[in-house]
Amino acid sequence: MNPYRTLTRHDHDGVAFIVFDHPPINLVDRELVIDLLNLAKALEGDAQTRVVIFRSANPDFFLAHYDLGSQLGKPAAPLAEGQASVLSVLFSRYSRLPQVTIGELRGRARGAGSEFLLALDMRFASRERGVLGQPEVAIGLLPGAGGTVRLTQLLGRGRALEVCLGGADFDADTAERYGWINRAVADAELQAFVEALARRIAGFPASGIAHIKAVVDGLSAADGAALAEESQRFVGDLVAPETVARVQWLMANGGQTDGVMERDLGALLECYPQALDKA
Amino acid sequence: MNPYRTLTRHDHDGVAFIVFDHPPINLVDRELVIDLLNLAKALEGDAQTRVVIFRSANPDFFLAHYDLGSQLGKPAAPLAEGQASVLSVLFSRYSRLPQVTIGELRGRARGAGSEFLLALDMRFASRERGVLGQPEVAIGLLPGAGGTVRLTQLLGRGRALEVCLGGADFDADTAERYGWINRAVADAELQAFVEALARRIAGFPASGIAHIKAVVDGLSAADGAALAEESQRFVGDLVAPETVARVQWLMANGGQTDGVMERDLGALLECYPQALDKA
Amino acid sequence: MNPYRTLTRHDHDGVAFIVFDHPPINLVDRELVIDLLNLAKALEGDAQTRVVIFRSANPDFFLAHYDLGSQLGKPAAPLAEGQASVLSVLFSRYSRLPQVTIGELRGRARGAGSEFLLALDMRFASRERGVLGQPEVAIGLLPGAGGTVRLTQLLGRGRALEVCLGGADFDADTAERYGWINRAVADAELQAFVEALARRIAGFPASGIAHIKAVVDGLSAADGAALAEESQRFVGDLVAPETVARVQWLMANGGQTDGVMERDLGALLECYPQALDKA
């Protein structure tokens, strides 16, 4: 029986295949976060699995973004000083897993969806169907689950500022040029490419894999103090009037369900406060 | 009345449009530096302006480079220990402005012109007409207004060394591949692209913009000690005989005015000490 | 008389041309390491030479990789705590040479061959004939002569992990996109491109070159503690049974000589423990 409600896991020869399947748009909501917490716990104690592939059952959405609607009713609890948010801490656990983690991106990964991918070891995207975005700026926030920090470390100052301040959608080719993903791969070849790489790594001795991950992580792990600062700034503004007004507009105009708004979120966010016609 | 002598400023809906207009080649001379100092002061205290675009009235020159001829008569005053130069400090003020700063590069930006762009938040260049270069090495100097430091942080060791040691001109496509600019954009689309991005950002809440700039800056600001060291090394050699001889050759062969030398500076600098025929 | 057994050196106008010529595959063995040690010593005290170009007499192999077969008979001596390996220390000396060092890559540079290139100031590769790889993971090791550290600093976390964990061969275009090399250049133009750059730099004053190298190095030198940790992890596992078994398989299947295995090493390493037919 599948112990998860929003994803499935299948294992084969040391490779775990995780498939997000949380209709309609793989929203990063409470259920999905609980599943990711349980999956992290399972993987942290799993010495048999060498490689983990993350993909989506929905070709249009990898992970839509964080469930902003849930914040409208009850404000987020303030964070203790120096603490990172639950989501930020969770994603950092994924970045420290003993397994090699690979994101196979088809469809949209925005906000926390992009931040989850950024916490993985590698990211490959469908050239035709991969979409990445950090739209938080449009509702008065910064990417708050590690994205601001990891984008700065990975893309460099200029491109991280463009991604975070512009809040636009990026196709896979641009994301590759910027270093957001390892590579854009033709959609028809993406699954085979990722599986071949995963199988190959799973066949190598465990010792070399562990050494490589340890040395690379020692040099490139996301800065802990910066992650905490990022969380503090994010949570502190979740209940700001301008943020709440923009989230309400988003919810009233098709946000968080499958439709025009979520499919073209990067472009449509700048239409606020104008009402969108439902297409 | 325009309070500036070498540039104009127009504001529209939270976006400031700065146009360099200092014939013949937008040389970074005393007048232009004074204007940049006054503009920095104005922007630092300006809570209304969200985004600043920098462009040039001259399609062939964005900012030519620092006024080397001015150094021939009177040697630069030595810097106090641990101090960065006036120009380096000025450019670092631009990198800390509360506004989002965008460089729209058409024409040549060499030496201090490139270093000014590097201090901005983002840089977009005309694919057909953008040219970048750090030619200081050809006169015995290093890029001394932040360029050596920011290029190393942005392009990585190998490409920063190539740019600074080779002193060549780079077209926009190569500059994009190297990470020197965010993106090369078709010349016909560049202005619209930059303005759309600026208007979009200016419509987002101020809080998210400030958070993003603070976190990214905390992780990626140019290293202060390295900037000071860079300035010291630059100013210390401005009066070296080999530097003076090469600047004199540059001035005698069409330097610092519009013509063959300034248009093809990257290639022609290696002709020293041969006299150039004026074409 | 040539004082080297595995390479030649010719000098012209301040440029030294080093050509690796150690048939059949330019293996990084004891003889070649001794030559590199002597060459480093010569260059460290050489104030006349401004630029050093490294190329190969063999168009199929730049530097094959470290001589693993030599480790089978006699295990490597353990390293003192906190020490980097002989090879790692040697390559770091190349990264600190007073000269500007340029790798001109035609053919394969895997393992220590790639790590040598990574320690140079710049790397240009033949678009058609350049091949880079870090295959150590396939025998249970990490790149141990600076490669894990320098790839992380140069390519960023995601791509460094892909290169080191996947152990695959990379063509020059992909290596350029990843930042492993400065640029891929058409094979027919590579030599002229590199020589023009070298001659150009050699004609510039020494002072600017020294300033640039010093400031860039201060910001981007490979982290010493990380290099030592990398070496310790590499040497500690050289005699692990799984590593020894895989090296023996490699030697029994055409490793370390010219043939199918070395030409297609990146792909064939995943065939272990299956016997390869000699083609």
Q: List chains adjacent to chain B, taking adjacency as at least 3 C-beta pairs closer than 8 Å.
A: A, C
The residues of chain A scoring below 70 in pLDDT are: 75, 277-279
pLDDT of the residue at C21: 98
Contacts C212 to B, Cβ<8 Å: 137, 142-143, 148, 161, 164-165
- Cβ–Cβ gap C152/A182 under 8 Å: no
| d(CA A101, nearest CA chain B) in Å | 25
| d(CA C122, nearest CA chain B) in Å | 5
Q: What is the mean pLDDT of chain C?
A: 96
- Cβ–Cβ gap B149/C200 under 8 Å: no
Whether A150 contacts chain B with CB within 8 A: no
Considering only the beta carbons, identify the residue of B153, B183, B204 that sits closest to A167.
B204
Per-residue tokens: B8: 């104009």
| d(CA B157, nearest CA chain C) in Å | 6
Q: What is the mean pLDDT of chain B?
A: 96
pLDDT of the residue at B73: 72
Optimal mutation site among A142, A165, A169, A237, interface B, most CBs of chain B within 10 A: A165
| d(CA B79, nearest CA chain C) in Å | 17
The architecture (CATH level 2) of A7-204+220-240 comes to Alpha-Beta Complex (3.90)
Check: CATH 3.40.50.720 for C7-204+220-271? no
Residue of B nearest to A226 (CA): B215
The full set of domain ranges for chain A reads 7-204+220-240
Looking at chain B, the whole-number percentage of residues with pLDDT higher than 90 is: 92
- Cβ–Cβ gap A162/B122 under 8 Å: yes
Contacts B152 to C, Cβ<8 Å: 215-216, 219-220
Pairing state between β B7-12 and B15-20: antiparallel
Residue of C nearest to B240 (CA): C207
pLDDT of the residue at B279: 44
Q: How many residues does chain A have?
A: 279
Instruction: Give the pLDDT confidence of B200-227 residue by residue, as tens digits.
Output: 999 999 999 999 999 999 999 999 999 9
pLDDT of the residue at C84: 96
Residue of C nearest to B268 (CA): C200
- Cβ–Cβ gap C142/A212 under 8 Å: yes
3-state SS record for chain C: CCCCCCEEEEEECCEEEEEECCCCCCCECHHHHHHHHHHHHHHHCCCCCCEEEEEECCCCEEECCECCHHHHHCCCCCCCCCCCCHHHHHHHHHHCCCCEEEEEEEEEEECHHHHHHHHCCEEEEEEEEEEEECHHHHHCCCCCCCHHHHHHHHHCHHHHHHHHHHCCEEEHHHHHHHCCCCEEECHHHHHHHHHHHHHHHHCCCHHHHHHHHHHHHHHHCCCHHHHHHHHHHHHHCCCCHHHHHHHHHHHHCCCCCCCHHHHCHHHHHHHCCCCCCCC
Is 0.90 topped by the overall pTM? yes
Pairing state between β B169-171 and B183-185: unpaired
| d(CA C12, nearest CA chain B) in Å | 17
C97-to-B15, B47, C199, C209 alpha-carbon distances in Å: 48, 50, 18, 12
CB B207, CB B48: distance < 8 Å: no
Q: What interface predicted TM-score (ipTM) does this complex get?
A: 0.97
Task: Write out residues 164-223 of B within 8 Å (CB-CB) of A.
Answer: 176-177, 179, 181-183, 197, 200-201, 203-205, 207-209, 211-216, 218-220
Q: For domain B7-204+220-238, give the fold.
A: 2-enoyl-CoA Hydratase; Chain A, domain 1 (3.90.226)
pLDDT of the residue at A10: 98
Residue type, C252: A
pLDDT of the residue at A279: 44
- Cβ–Cβ gap B179/A162 under 8 Å: no
The residues of chain C scoring below 70 in pLDDT are: 75, 277-279
Q: Which of B68, B63, B65 is nearest to B21 (CA)?
A: B63
A67-79 exposure pattern, b = at least 16 Cβ within 10 A, e = fewer: bbbebeeeeeeeb
Contacts B212 to A, Cβ<8 Å: 137, 142-143, 148, 161, 164-165
Interhelix angle B206-220/A147-155, rounded to 10 degrees, is: 50
- Cβ–Cβ gap B216/A177 under 8 Å: no
- Cβ–Cβ gap A165/B205 under 8 Å: no
Q: Which of A152, A157, A118, A113 is nearest to A135 (CA)?
A: A113
Q: What is the helix (H) or strand (E) element at residue A196, kind and residue range? A: helix A187-202
3-state SS record for chain B: CCCCCCEEEEEECCEEEEEECCCCCCCECHHHHHHHHHHHHHHHCCCCCCEEEEEECCCCEEECCECCHHHHHCCCCCCCCCCCCHHHHHHHHHHCCCCEEEEEEEEEEECHHHHHHHHCCEEEEEEEEEEEECHHHHHCCCCCCCHHHHHHHHHCHHHHHHHHHHCCEEEHHHHHHHCCCCEEECHHHHHHHHHHHHHHHHCCCHHHHHHHHHHHHHHHCCCHHHHHHHHHHHHHHCCCHHHHHHHHHHHHCCCCCCCHHHHCHHHHHHHCCCCCCCC
How many inter-chain contacts (B to C, CB under 8 Å) are there? 110
pLDDT of the residue at A276: 82
Average pLDDT over residues B139-161: 98
- Cβ–Cβ gap A148/B216 under 8 Å: yes
Instruction: Give the pLDDT confidence of A56-95 residue by residue, as tens digits.
Output: 999 999 999 999 988 887 767 789 989 999 999 999 999 9
